[in-house]
Structure 1
Amino acid sequence: MNQMTKDEVLYAFAVEDETGRDTLLRYLAAYPQFAHDLVDISRELHRSFSDEPLSAAEMQRVDVAIARYQGVMVKQTSESLAPQAFNGAAELMQLPLSVMVAFRERRVDLASVPTRFLERLAGALSTSMEQLSAFLLQPAMVSAARQSKSRVKPTTAVKVSLEKVLSDAGVQADRIQSLIERGE
């Protein structure tokens, strides 16, 4: 299991449905190295807020923090999901490379991918389901290399179902059914 960073632990705590005493104690037991930060965020989450709007300086601090967090997440995701990783995943999952190219270019609609298939793909890519899901939720793209080789004007990439990607790649109907129904 991957070790979570301080930011990941604090984010996980902050988005818990219940951030009360029991949740805090559970996180403190699991991540004692972040005890000070967990107590701080717990206090912040439970302090009373006024109805006054944030000042310009406070808004700027929030915007900077969000931009920093988004930059870190995109960097982590893109580093762990390098193009070469998808080549290896195609072999491990015994699927045509074109299927993995569709995933790499985020042209597969995440909602059409069975959880079991997503788990297997995350394992083949040596990443977490959360990172893979965050990656796949980004806008679809077509690689610059493929666009430059095209004889027709490139169009905006669109997301399609996993079933269509598999069918277009020439995967047999019974295997498609197995992948869609059982993720195998």
Structure 2
Amino acid sequence: MKRGVALEDVLDAFSMEEDVSTQTLERYLRVYPQYVEALSDLFHELNLVRFEAEATSDAEVKAAFQDFETDAVGDRGQDEESLFSKDSIKRAAKNLGVSRAFLAGFRDRLVIAATVPPRILKQLAKALGQSEKTLETYLRGEASIGTAVAFKSDGQPRPPDQISFEAYLKSFPDEADQLARLMDSDGRD
């Protein structure tokens, strides 16, 4: 029997065991009899979680995740759904000569729409295969966070504050020259 080990340390060690079986519980109870009740409670809790996880089918997980994504995306129209799809961002980045990370800020509505120069807005809409009005309407929405970020968050995730186009551009110094060229062009290829 080990008396000098704290309950929390024993419970941590037990919960980290690869095999949380009755044999493991019995071994811990022999070594730490003073923690019988706490170890038994933890054993049952860990097994309950494991059994619940095994009982959940793949279909239930997929349905729950789809519901989560729907809630995270909100009630945007179909045009807005496809506006910043993975493929459209990739194509637009190539056509504009900017990085996908740069375009992701527009997807996440980090840039205040009214501060985007009209020529950039026009070029971006064209590269995305959308009308300027559709893009502008989308950008005027609230800033959002990606589903993966929201899913990984420990607390209530909040979208970042929106910033001006000029401030956003400072985050991407490598894009400045290309964007200056886009501003100088008239949008025709």
C-alpha distance 172-119 of structure 1, shift in aligned 2 (>3 A): closer
C-alpha distance 155-143 of structure 1, shift in aligned 2 (>3 A): same
Structure 1: state its 5+ residue gaps. 1-70
Structure 2: state its 5+ residue gaps. 1-74
TM-score of the pair, normalised by structure 1? 0.50
Q: What value does the CA root-mean-square deviation take over the aligned residues?
A: 2.9
* Largest Rg, 1 or 2: 2
Task: Find 1:133's aligned residue among 128, 136, 150.
Answer: 136
Over residues 1-35 of structure 1, what are the superposed CA-to-partner deviations in whole Å (9 max), with x where a residue is unaligned? xxxxxxxxxxxxxxxxxxxxxxxxxxxxxxxxxxx
TM-score of the pair, normalised by structure 2? 0.49
Displacement of 1:164: 2.3
Over residues 66-116 of structure 1, what are the superposed CA-to-partner deviations in whole Å (9 max), with x where a residue is unaligned? xxxxx7xx4133234142212221111111211110011111111111111
Displacement of 1:126: 0.6
Q: Which residue of 2 aligns with 1:122?
A: 125
State the one-letter code of the partner of 1:162. F
State the one-letter code of the partner of 1:75. G
1:140 is paired with a residue of what secondary structure? coil
C-alpha distance 156-126 of structure 1, shift in aligned 2 (>3 A): same
2:77 is paired with a residue of what secondary structure? helix
C-alpha distance 93-128 of structure 1, shift in aligned 2 (>3 A): same
Paired residues, number:
112
State the one-letter code of the partner of 1:77. D
Work out the CA distance in 2 between the residues paired with 1:164 and 1:181. Answer: 20
2:92 is paired with a residue of what secondary structure? helix
Work out the CA distance in 2 between the residues paired with 1:172 and 1:125. Answer: 18
Work out the CA distance in 2 between the residues paired with 1:108 and 1:87. Answer: 19
Q: Which residue of 1 aligns with 2:174?
A: 171
C-alpha distance 160-178 of structure 1, shift in aligned 2 (>3 A): farther
